[in-house]
Amino acid sequence: MAGGKRALLRALGVAMALLATGVTPAYAGQGTTAVAAAPSADWVWVRYLARAHPYSTVRTAAWSALVSSAPDAAIAEFLATGYDYAVSRAQEGRARNLDFVRRVYETTTAEYAPEVHAEAQRLLGSGGTDSARDLFVRSGYEAAKARDRVYRDAVGEQKRALLQRDRETVAALAANDPGEQVRLSASYALRQGATDDDLVEFFAYGWTTGARLDLEVYRIRRAGENMRWRAAVIGLVADAEAAERAAREAGEEAKAQAKAAAVRAWQEVGAQTAPARSGWEQAGEVAARQAGNWHAVVLAATAAQGPNWTSILQPAQDTEVAWQSETDDTAHQVDYWAALSQQALDGEQRVSDSL
């Protein structure tokens, strides 16, 4: 039984990997080839949450639904109740601290923030107890940052490498970067009384941390809004389908009134799709702007010389890829809501024409 379960999980993993690349797996049998059905819109959405949601509790719950032995039912349950429960769990101290430590680890490097990076790595490993991670969040993180600053100041390489153009770049980010958290981080590095140490710290991890927070805020907001939109429209579609059935089954005296109710029900579905379509279109514009911004950072970091720009190069490449992925994902959601809008128009027209 255990071996069969492992085989099933491996098969599901292969299928999901193929589907993620746009390749539809084919299954051979008895002289014919049957092509697997395209993934449902629900599967695509839960797969996005499993891959990209900032909360580890949400990612874990979404993956559990996808690899379930009855994925359709598990996905439906996750969308109905599991997502909200996973979000509530993420707000608890234990999960929140773990997500914080993981973010710190993923946005720092051993070369440019050795103390912070090493401490985060330790807390994600065998040395990571709940109490230790809580202490790190409350005071250990700032203490490690202070030790890194002493280290960088003693070495002096990054401070000596600062140029006027670097200061001008940070000033431009403080004024114009599309990400609020990056703007705040850059502004802090240039605050009254700031020193070159603050600029070095911005390049070492302040820029990357701000970028990660901007991406997480975007993803959390989009996921929450889309879950609310989906919950509302699912109920409206069910109501419209029921109203259409009632109109078909109504007697002659009641048919006109039932028909009008069915038309209104489909119109409500169409109206519900409008904010979602608009919201995802705007989200796509934000993601495209961020992807273009980080592409420019990659080019600047590639062309620049010195340790400060070198520290931002790989994070900039990763962030560009992440925002480009968001651009692609928003396009899927725009298509989903456009299809629902068309379904509503078709339902309204069908009721008007055939009843």
Q: Would you list the domain boundaries of the chain?
A: 68-155, 212-354
Q: Which tens digits make up the pLDDT trace of 220-238? A: 999 999 999 999 999 999 9
Residue 263: per-residue pLDDT: 95
DSSP string spanning 276-334?
A: HHHHHHHHHHHHHHHHHHHHHHHHHHHH--SHHHHHHHHHHHHHHHHHHHHHHHHHHHH
Residue type, 300: A
289 in Cβ contact with 180 (< 8 Å): no
Give the residue ranges of DSSP H helices in the chain: 2-20, 41-52, 56-66, 71-77, 83-90, 93-106, 114-124, 130-135, 141-155, 157-160, 164-176, 180-189, 196-201, 207-249, 252-303, 307-354
The CATH class, in words, for 212-354 is mainly alpha
Residue 30: per-residue pLDDT: 35
Residue 250: per-residue pLDDT: 87
Q: What span, in angstroms and rounded, lies between the C-alpha atoms of 257 and 148?
A: 74
Q: Write out the two tokens for 19.
A: 């589907």
Q: Write out the two tokens for 250.
A: 């109504």
CB atoms within 10 A of CB 329: 22
Provide the residue-wise pLDDT of the chain in tens; the chain has 355 residues. Answer: 343 333 333 333 333 333 333 333 332 333 333 344 678 999 999 999 999 999 999 999 999 999 999 999 999 999 999 999 999 999 899 999 999 999 999 999 998 899 999 999 999 988 789 999 999 999 999 999 999 988 888 878 888 999 999 999 999 999 999 999 999 999 999 999 999 999 999 999 899 999 999 999 999 999 999 999 999 999 999 999 999 999 999 888 888 999 999 999 999 999 999 999 999 999 999 999 999 999 999 999 999 978 999 999 999 999 999 999 999 999 999 999 999 999 999 999 999 887 6
Q: What span, in angstroms and rounded, lies between the C-alpha atoms of 178 and 103?
A: 21
Q: What span, in angstroms and rounded, lies between the C-alpha atoms of 27 and 18?
A: 13
Q: Write out the two tokens for 248.
A: 């078909």
Name the packing angle between helices 141-155 and 114-124 (round to 10°). 150
Residue 16: per-residue pLDDT: 34
Separation in Å, CA 53 to CA 44, 58, 116, 202, 216: 13, 7, 24, 26, 8
**Is residue 4 exposed (0-12), middle (13-18) or buried (19+ Cβ within 10 Å)?**
exposed
Residue 156: per-residue pLDDT: 83
DSSP state of 224: H
3-class SS of residue 128? coil
